[in-house]
């Protein structure tokens, strides 16, 4: 078992004929992902990295049974691409695209929910389960199969931390990048129950950043309902109020969303807090439950 995706996930790549779509379709296949189709209007009948390309998502789903999509569609067209995918029956959309207009994302979020479709992102690195599959752009080389779940708002920090866990001789069950925009399709509170219920996850690393209240909300959930060890890190401790740090959602306003407030909430909920990313692998090793040899 893994979170959201597994070996049976049949992946469609929207925008596969563009440079980023082509490169990451190749990398997903190298990771072991079952990339069954691509979709680019006007490019139907081509093949990219051995993957058939269709003019529409509906054609791709009918021909290949695709049940998840990864969007490499430019921001002005991302909303329509997502709506097309949902209307074709796709139930999981990983949206790598950044700079999607705020109101477009609100439409996508509510339409997806109304149709029972799950959004990961936008502006995210995606999701990967080592030894099973990957949907997105997380580098293949940072992974090793194991029992550590990772949920993160930051892409590059995700890569650094996952690689550090691997170099410590440990591995990951599922790594989920939520995205850094003000409106995202999946929150920490959405994701934590999946990792709680996953028998292959024994510990979760939660990587947050300044801005919003997602980490405080996660802390409340952890304190009440989450029963596995949590290692937490929040980026942006030195950021001044009102300063945006990288992501559109990483902005402190009206005294809320500071790193200190998030860290205090997580610590009070029982999470083990790291001050720096390099501390995380040692904390994972320390608190990862020991399993008896079979």
pLDDT at residue 258, rounded to an integer? 81
What is the pLDDT confidence band of residue 153, given thresholds at 50, 70 and 90?
very high
Catalytic residues: 247
Q: Per-residue pLDDT averaged across 89-114, rounded?
A: 97
pTM: 0.93
The answer to whether the beta carbons of residues 203 and 230 sit under 8 Å apart is yes
Angle between helices 102-114 and 75-87 (to 10 degrees): 10
User: Mean per-residue pLDDT for 254-269?
Assistant: 82
Rounded to an integer, what distance in angstroms lies between the CA atom of residue 64 and that of residue 16? 15
Joined together, the tokens standing for residue 25 give 């379709």
**Least confident stretch, 26-40, 247-261, 262-276:** 247-261
Do residues 224 and 128 lie in contact, with contact meaning Cβ atoms separated by under 8 Å? no
State residue 243's pLDDT score: 57
pLDDT of residue 212: 83
What is the average pLDDT score of the chain? 93
The answer to whether residues 90 and 59 touch, using CB atoms and an 8 Å cutoff, is no
Q: pLDDT grade, residue 69 (50/70/90)?
A: very high
Element (H, E) at 11: strand 10-14
Please report the domains of the chain, with CATH numbers, ordered by start residue: 10-120 (3.40.50.720), 138-287 (3.40.50.261)
Using a CB cutoff of 8 Å and minimum separation of 24, what contacts does 249-258 make? 249/153, 249/180, 249/181, 249/182, 249/184, 249/209, 249/211, 249/212, 250/153, 250/180, 250/209, 250/210, 250/211, 251/210, 251/211, 252/210, 252/211, 253/211, 256/213, 257/210, 257/211, 257/212, 257/213, 258/210
pLDDT tens across 102-150, in order? 999 999 999 999 999 999 999 999 999 999 999 999 999 999 999 999 9
Q: What is the C-alpha separation between 20 and 73, in angstroms, rounded?
A: 9
Burial 259-275 (b: 16+ CB within 10 A, else e): bebbbebbeebebbbbe
Tens digit of each residue's pLDDT (9 = 90 or more) over 205-250: 999 988 888 999 999 999 999 999 999 999 877 766 655 555 555 5
Predicted confidence band of residue 260 (pLDDT cuts 50, 70, 90)? confident
């Amino acid at each position: 078992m893994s979170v959201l995706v597994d070996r049976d996930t049949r992946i469609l790549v929207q925008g596969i004929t563009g440079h980023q779509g082509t490169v990451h379709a190749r990398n997903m296949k190298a990771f072991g992902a079952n990339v069954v189709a691509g979709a680019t209007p006007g490019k139907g009948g081509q093949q990219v990295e051995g993957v058939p390309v269709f003019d529409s998502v509906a054609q791709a789903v009918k021909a290949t049974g695709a049940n998840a999509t990864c969007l490499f569609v430019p921001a002005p067209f991302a909303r329509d691409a997502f709506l097309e995918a949902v209307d074709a029956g796709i139930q999981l959309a990983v949206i790598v695209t950044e700079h999607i207009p705020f109101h477009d994302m609100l439409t996508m979020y509510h339409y997806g929910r109304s149709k029972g479709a799950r959004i990961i992102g936008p502006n995210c690195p995606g999701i990967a389960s080592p030894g099973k599959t990957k949907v997105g752009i997380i580098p293949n080389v940072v992974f090793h199969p194991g029992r550590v779940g990772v949920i993160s708002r930051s892409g590059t920090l995700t890569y650094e931390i996952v690689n550090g866990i691997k170099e410590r001789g440990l591995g990951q069950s599922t790594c989920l990048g939520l995205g850094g925009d003000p409106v995202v399709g999946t929150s920490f509170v959405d994701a934590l129950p999946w990792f709680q219920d996953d028998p292959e996850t024994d510990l979760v690393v939660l990587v947050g950043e300044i801005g919003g209240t997602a980490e405080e909300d996660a802390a409340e959930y952890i304190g009440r309902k989450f029963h596995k060890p949590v290692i937490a890190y929040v980026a942006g401790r030195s950021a001044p109020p009102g300063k945006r740090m990288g992501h559109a959602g990483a902005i402190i306003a009206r005294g809320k969303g500071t790193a200190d407030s998030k860290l205090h909430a997580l610590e009070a909920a029982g999470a083990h807090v790291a001050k720096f990313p390099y501390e995380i692998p040692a904390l994972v090793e320390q608190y990862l439950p020991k399993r008896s040899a079979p």
